[in-house]
Amino acid sequence: RATPSQSQHKTHRSRRALDAAYCSRNVQDNCCLRSLYIDFKKDLGWRWIHEPKGYEANFCAGACPYLWSADTQHSKVLGLYNTINPEASASPCCVSQDLEPLTILYYIGKTPKIEQLSNMKVKSCKCS
């Protein structure tokens, strides 16, 4: 018999990453990474960012059925509870897991500034 820590380790290793590669290969209604390109000027009215003109922000969306990319024991219990009690409002949510920064170029007067904005690009998702 596997000990609880061995079972958790095996589950953790086999858990699929809900990243762009997985989500694009598998059409999912469940929690997955969705593509979203944001053009700073057209979509947000931001003229102050000179480069890049836009970027792949992406987002996470979809249902979190029992054990679908469950991040914690709490989300596993919530998922099972929601399966048994479908009228209940308590259920795990699809959220971003890994995010990457975005480097931007803007100007203060005529002086160029380069800044790295943290947590701007969603790279993978999880149910939490």
- What are the residue ranges spanned by the domains of the chain? 4-127
Residue 8: the pLDDT is 41
- The domain covering 4-127 belongs, at the CATH homologous superfamily level, to Cystine-knot cytokines (2.10.90.10)
> What CA–CA distance (Å, rounded) separates 60 from 97?
9
Residue numbers of the chain with a pLDDT score lower than 50:
1-15
Tell me the whole-structure pTM to 2 decimals: 0.70
Burial degree of 26 (CB within 10 A; 0-12, 13-18, 19+): exposed
Residue pair 55/121 in contact (Cβ under 8 Å)? The answer is yes
Residue 48: the pLDDT is 97
Residue pair 100/121 in contact (Cβ under 8 Å)? The answer is yes
Peptide bond into 52 cis (omega under 30): yes
Residue 6: the pLDDT is 41
Residue 15: the pLDDT is 46
| Amino acid symbol at 103 | T
Residue pair 60/96 in contact (Cβ under 8 Å)? The answer is yes
Residue 64: the pLDDT is 81
Question: DSSP letter at 50?
Answer: E
